[in-house]
Amino acid sequence: MKDMLVRLQDLPSVLSLEKSLEKKEKIIFRKAIAPEKHLVCEWVHQEFGDYWKSEVEVAFTRQPITCWIAQRGNTLVGFACYETTAKNFFGPTGTLESERGKGIGKILLIKALESLKEMGYGYAIIGGVGPAEFYEKVVGAKEIEGSEISIYQNLLRKS
């Protein structure tokens, strides 16, 4: 797994995509708030496992909370965190499997990167990337040479 670097100066606008998802799919995007911590963390645990739950729990220790969510009514369909495992890092993120390919991941990514930009960063790091093509395509992210040796090195695993 490598890290990727993203310039925060030319992020694409997702306003019209967001409006269309709200209209057609009834999906809204917003920052998570404290009272729903248990629900967001349980959902991330169920859909994406222990490690991402741990990272989302850290997002809920921040104020404002560093986690964007996508919801349809009372159902979560996606999430994206930033500054959980390291400062200036994006992630983790995930879209419910049945909802992928609609633009949810893209909107969540841009919203979280905009949040990092508002904090004063000029670049952001996508930590321990899985789908590099997704990040290349949506925000022009570039692999950081040598980053396979990263902060995730020596991560404890369940034995």
Ligand X SMILES: CC(C)(COP(=O)(O)OP(=O)(O)OC[C@H]1O[C@@H](n2cnc3c(N)ncnc32)[C@H](O)[C@@H]1OP(=O)(O)O)[C@@H](O)C(=O)NCCC(=O)NCCS
Burial of 140 (0-12, 13-18, 19+ CB in 10 A): middle
Sheet with 75-82: list strands edge to edge.
Answer: 27-31, 67-72, 75-82, 89-95, 123-129, 2-7, 142-143
Minimum CB distance to ligand X smaller for 34 or for 77: 77
Min CB(105)–ligand X separation in Å: 2
3-state secondary structure of 150: coil
Minimum CB distance to ligand X smaller for 112 or for 138: 138
Please give the residue whose beta carbon sits closest to ligand X in the complex: 105
By C-alpha distance, which of 151, 78, 87, 96 is closest to 119?
Answer: 87
Minimum CB distance to ligand X smaller for 118 or for 133: 133
Minimum CB distance to ligand X smaller for 34 or for 149: 149
R_g of the chain computed on alpha carbons: 15
Min CB(81)–ligand X separation in Å: 11
**Dihedrals phi, psi of 108, to nearest 5 degrees:** -60, -40
Min CB(63)–ligand X separation in Å: 25
Min CB(146)–ligand X separation in Å: 18
Min CB(125)–ligand X separation in Å: 11
Minimum CB distance to ligand X smaller for 65 or for 81: 81
- What does the alpha-carbon distance between residue 117 and residue 121 come to, in Å, rounded to a whole number? 5
Interaction site with ligand X (CB under 6 A): 91-95, 100-106, 129-131, 133-134, 137-138
